[in-house]
Amino acid sequence: MKMKKVLFAAVSAGVMMLAGPSLAATELTVQRFFGACDADFGKNTDVGKAVGECGIITSLINKFNADNPDVHVSVATVEWPGYDQLTAQFASGDAPDIVTIHESALSDYQSKGLLMPLDDLLKSVGVTSDAFTDAARNGATKDGKIYGLPIDSWTMLYHINMDLFKQAGLVNADGTPILPKSPEELLAQAEQFKQKTGKPYFVQNLANETALFTRNLYTYLFQQDSDFFADPKHVKLNTPEAKKVVEMYKAIFDKGYTTKDLDYGGAINAFLAGEGGVQLNGTWVVGDNNAQSETKGTALNKGGYAVYPYPQLFAGAHAQYADGHTWAVSQKDRTPEQTAAIGKFLKFFADNDFDWSRTGHLPAYKAIITSDAFKALPHRNTIAAVADLGRPLPSAVQRQFAIQDIVGEEMSAAITGQKDVDAALADMESRVNELLANI
């Protein structure tokens, strides 16, 4: 009798071991930025309840895991933008399967053969590039192939405290904010704002920041038709157009039209506390700011919150700097199950892009951007124009994040008066060109 039991146990164990691999879920590693919020959304699978970038992406991945028991996605969250870590992971052969990469950074990894072209995989799950918006398709396409599933297009915006704008007398009869149409108007309105409210017009995160400065410069160079990256290997930034932009921001700094010593988190808090009129920040805070404006007792609830693209200050193209987020897939040997699981994950994000667009980012799919549901989201009537205005750097420009650091450092030095404007522009140009010449 005892022997029988032992035999039965042994046979059962053997069967389970054999059956094991086919029952086990396919493991995928996903690496992303957008922050960590497990305390609030760690277990949430109801995506509709989530707000903000972190909340929505966490909930989406939770839902994917819940809906697909045959696939298990484990998530590693990295500090924005996470490229130092990703580069080290690629170099040591330990890259995640799927990773968030900006469209502006795709070419760095694609040019080294580290990313998998996704055309065939996406086609196999029914996602074709003609479904993408033009901005998303162009951003994700390198050398004629798709190297990342675009999930949005983003840009910088004017986030406006309407209560302070009303106090400053900068509101039209229809209740919309009065925005400047030239650098001179901007300075005049900022002065008027300061006089009437006693507060700075801008809430900017200028402390040890580079990205904001650079995006501001690119936007106003586009608006002056300055083709500063005509040659992707050689930049021209020591130009009268660039000088105009830097001098404009320097005047804003010198005349006290902006907050000065705040870092990114500090600037968000200052804007939410009503310490300035316009915060220069991205599409990603629209959802959070709107939620604040609907909460009684907050500074944004007092007179309302509005959000607009950067005003057209120059006579050139109607444009502003834009970029986008994608899911890219690392190049490595995989079983058909693993590849199929990646396809499922990408398809899930393509299907659920509307939820992602609730963050404030613009959707990467034509069907969503033209949908009534998207248009019905708050403030989309004012910011949807960004889909046409948004312009990235030419996709052949490599090391865009490193360039951003150099441009931002030099702009910061010029604006805060640590360096002469001409010297800063000359150094900016030579440092970027030195970097590009040695790739």
Partner 1 sequence: MADRLTMPQTAMPAASVRAPSVDIYAPQWRNFMFVAPFLFFFTTLLVVPLLWGMWLSFHKADTFSSGNFVGFGNYIRLFHDKVFLQSVWNTFYFVLLTVPALALIGLFLALCLNRRTRTAAVLRTLFFSSSVLSVTIVTLIWRIVFIPNVGLLSTIYGWFGATAPAFISDPSLAMIGIAIATVWWCIGLPMMLFLSALQQIPQDIYEAAALDNASRWQTLRSITLPSIKRTFILVVIVQIVLQFQLFGQAWLMTRGGPNNLTKPIVLYIYDTAFRRWDLGMGAAASEVLFILILIAAMAQYLVTRNNADRT
The stretch near partner 1 (CB under 8 A) out of 95-103, 185-193, 194-202, 414-422 is 414-422
271 binds partner 1 (CB under 8 A): no
3-state secondary structure of 28: strand
Q: Which of 43, 49, 112, 181 binds partner 1 (CB under 8 A)?
A: 112
Q: Which of 260, 318, 332, 375 binds partner 1 (CB under 8 A)?
A: 260
> Which segments of 207-318 are extended strands (E)?
278-282, 305-309
Omega cis (within 30) before 392: no
Cβ–Cβ under 8 Å, residues 354 and 363: yes
CB of 179 to partner 1, least distance (A): 27
For partner 1, give the closer residue by CB, 27 or 79.
79
Q: What part of residues 172-211 is at the interface with partner 1 (CB under 8 A)?
A: 206-210
Question: What kind and span of H or E run contains 246?
Answer: helix 240-254
The nearest distance, CB 338 to partner 1, in angstroms, is 23
What is the smallest separation between the CB atom of 418 and partner 1, expressed in angstroms?
Answer: 5
Binding mask 216-245 for partner 1 (x = CB under 8 A): ------------------------------
Residue 261 touches partner 1, criterion: CB under 8 A: yes
**41 or 249, CB closer to partner 1?**
249
- Position among 190, 399, 400, 428 found at the interface with partner 1 (CB under 8 A): 399
Task: Determine if 160 is a binding residue for partner 1 (CB under 8 A).
Answer: no
Residue found under tokens 């590009």? 436
Residues that contact partner 1, how many (by CB under 8 A)? 37
The structure tokens listed for 356 are 């992602």
Binding piece for partner 1, criterion CB under 8 A, among 316-324, 327-335, 361-369, 408-416:
408-416
Q: Provide Rg for the chain, Cα atoms.
A: 24
Stretch binding partner 1 (CB under 8 A), from 133-141, 302-310, 339-347, 431-439: 431-439
Question: 403 phi and psi, to 5 degrees?
Answer: -65, -45
User: Do the beta carbons of residue 345 and residue 98 sit within 8 Å?
Assistant: yes
Q: Which stretch binds partner 1 (CB under 8 A): 120-128, 280-288, 381-389, 397-405?
A: 397-405
- CB count in 10 Å sphere of residue 6: 9
Stretch that binds partner 1, among 42-50, 121-129, 386-394, 410-418 (CB under 8 A): 410-418
Number of helices (H), then strands (E), in the chain: 22, 14
Q: How far is CA 80 from CA 84, 226, 237, 423, in A?
A: 10, 30, 27, 31
Pick from 84, 53, 57: nearest CA to 73: 57
The SS3 assignment for 439 reads coil
Q: Is 279 helix (H, G, I), strand (E, B) or coil?
A: strand
Span 81-100, contacts to partner 1 by CB under 8 A? 83-84, 87-88, 90-91
Instruction: Pick between residue 51 and residue 207 the one whose CB is nearest to partner 1.
Output: 207
Largest CA distance in the chain: 97
What is d(CA 405, CA 65) in angstroms, rounded to the nearest whole number?
A: 37
The closest of 395, 408, 402, 47 to 204, measured between CA atoms, is 408
Cβ at position 242, least distance to partner 1 in Å: 18
Interface residue list for partner 1 (CB under 8 A): 83-84, 87-88, 90-91, 108, 112, 114, 206-210, 260-263, 266, 269-270, 399, 401-402, 405, 409, 412-413, 416, 418-419, 427, 431, 434-435, 438-439
